[in-house]
Chain A
Amino acid sequence: MNNKTYLKDEEQSIVDITHIREFSEITRNIRYVDVGSTVTANKLLEIGKLAFNDLLLDTLHNTSTHIVRNLITVGGAVCTPKIRYSLPGTLAMMNTVVEVVDLTQTKLMPKLIPIDKLYNSKGELMLERGVLLKKIRISLENYDFEKFSYVGDPIRTPESTVIISFRANIEQTVLNKVNMSITFPTCGLYLSETMALELNGAQLPISISRVKAISEKITEGVTQEMDGISPIQKERCKRLIQSILFEIEPDQHSIEATE
């Protein structure tokens, strides 16, 4: 008999929760959807076509291939210890919260935690041993402009990959409620408040010089706050932000109505 152990730092038992109904359910109301932690990315994509916004669907669709998505669970995608993939960034920007329960306590009280609070400044998971992620709660808010964009391969080349999720509302020709998250797989997650400050109230279309200035400002801010970002990631981050901002166009119908 082969007595090798695999992928274990220490002796521990594996508790398989995939067969527990509560963790594989998806329930919804008008404002949000609760997704059990063992729901696969493919299942979420199938069901999400009827409920979720384009941004989350694009994120799921671009999360690897169909074959690998069958193996990725929502809880697993959120709880990878040291590396961040695309889903947490989009979920964090959508004000998603997770429900966790501490199994080491005598009283099992569920707690709701915003998803961006699960990680430290280096992008490492801060949940302690014995804490179980039961479900995630995703809001159903839709925005006028939503974009998921990435460069690189977070599995094969995480040190040079950049992933950006962006959304904003457009009223007449003015931007508001701007949100953006930037994920560097080996460095962590960055929720950009600078972007909101710079762009809320901005008149569309945004000039080339202003797009360049904003992208440089945000990239500088990110590299100051986060360690370990490579030069190629910095350049890719700047270019992705520029391409997203160039894509935002004012509503043509609104322009015609005001003329």
Chain B
Amino acid sequence: MIKLSFTLNKTRLELLVDEMKPLSQILYEDLQIDSIERNCNGNVCGNCMILIDKEPTLACLVPAFRLQGTTVTTFDAFMQTAHYRNIKRIYDQLNIEPCPNCYQAKTLIFESILLKAKTKVQQTGDLDDFSKKFLNKGKQRFGETEITAETIDREFQLSSCNCMNSQELLEIALKAEEDRTKRRVL
């Protein structure tokens, strides 16, 4: 057992828990938070996603001892942030959104993709000599943070729900990135 100190939704907590207990179980059993999937038996369903130090993470894969000193944000708290409002705005604009089963997971996967997306690298011709040095066989490694269909297919493997197709996911991600840039959502 360890004495665990961390911040959950801006509240500082101290718990005595088994050091290997997964975060998903801690949230349900010790803190009575039942808004996330607790145990999909290793099927990597993606429905236990929360934010740890602002990074989307699977709560079932984080043992208690890794939480020491971290900041955990559940989806309910994430919904109060500008980042969530940015994604929700795009859902409303396009009239597409994930189903209730995977809404949380897919929204946080979008958040993960958008956090990594930086300046778009459009074509080789737009790059300076320093950047071109990192290109290899046509692959835009320097622009790896660019949102592409390949990025969407890979990142959304984490959500086993098929309520949305790749085209819709890509459209949402691109529009959300554009919206964040325009509104300077940091």
Contacts and interface: CB of A to CB of B under 8 A. Distances in A.
B135 to A, nearest CB: 11
A71 B155 contact: no
Contacts of B63: 6-7, 14
A66 B21 contact: no
Contacts of A66: 112-113, 116, 155
B136 interface: yes
Given A1-B16, A6-B18, A49-B141, A70 B55 contact: yes
A71 B59 CA distance: 11
Given A14-B20, A66-B113, A156 B49 contact: no
A221 to B, nearest CB: 31
Contacts of B21: 2, 4, 6
Among A64, A66, A67, chain B packs the most CB atoms within 10 A around the CB of: A67
A65 B49 CA distance: 13
A18 B22 contact: no
Contacts of A54: 136-137, 139
Contact of A71 (B61, B113, B116): B61
Interface residues of A, number: 27
A128 interface: no
A57 B112 CA distance: 20
Contact of A68 (B30, B58, B136, B139): B58
A6 B112 CA distance: 28
A67 B30 contact: no
Given A4-B21, A66-B112, A155 B44 contact: yes
Nearest to B141: A49
B101 interface: no
A31 interface: no
Contacts of B154: 62, 65
Interface residues of B, number: 38
A67 B57 contact: yes
A67 B112 contact: yes
Contacts of B112: 66-67
A8 interface: yes
Interface string B135-166: 01101011010000000001101100000000
A4 B18 contact: yes
Nearest to A3: B18
Contacts of A67: 49, 55-58, 109, 112, 155, 158
B29 interface: yes
A133 to B, nearest CB: 18
Contacts of B107: none
A2 B20 contact: no
B145 to A, nearest CB: 10
Contact of B57 (A1, A5, A8, A71): A71
Contacts of A2: 17-18, 21, 29-30
Interface string A1-36: 111111110000010101000000000000000000
What are the 6 A-B residue pairs with the smallest beta carbon separation, nearest first? Answer: A6-B20, A14-B19, A65-B155, A65-B158, A16-B65, A6-B21
Interface of A: 1-8, 14, 16, 18, 49-50, 54, 57, 61-62, 64-68, 70-71, 153, 155-156
28 contacts: A2-B29, A4-B18, A6-B18, A6-B63, A14-B63, A16-B65, A16-B66, A49-B134, A49-B142, A54-B136, A54-B137, A65-B109, A65-B154, A65-B155, A66-B112, A66-B113, A66-B116, A67-B49, A67-B55, A67-B57, A67-B109, A67-B155, A68-B44, A68-B58, A71-B57, A153-B157, A156-B43, A156-B44
Interface of B: 16-22, 25, 29-30, 43-44, 49, 55-58, 61-63, 65-66, 68, 109, 112-113, 116, 134, 136-137, 139, 141-142, 144, 154-155, 157-158
Given A2-B17, A6-B20, 5 more contacts: A4-B21, A6-B22, A65-B157, A66-B155, A155-B44
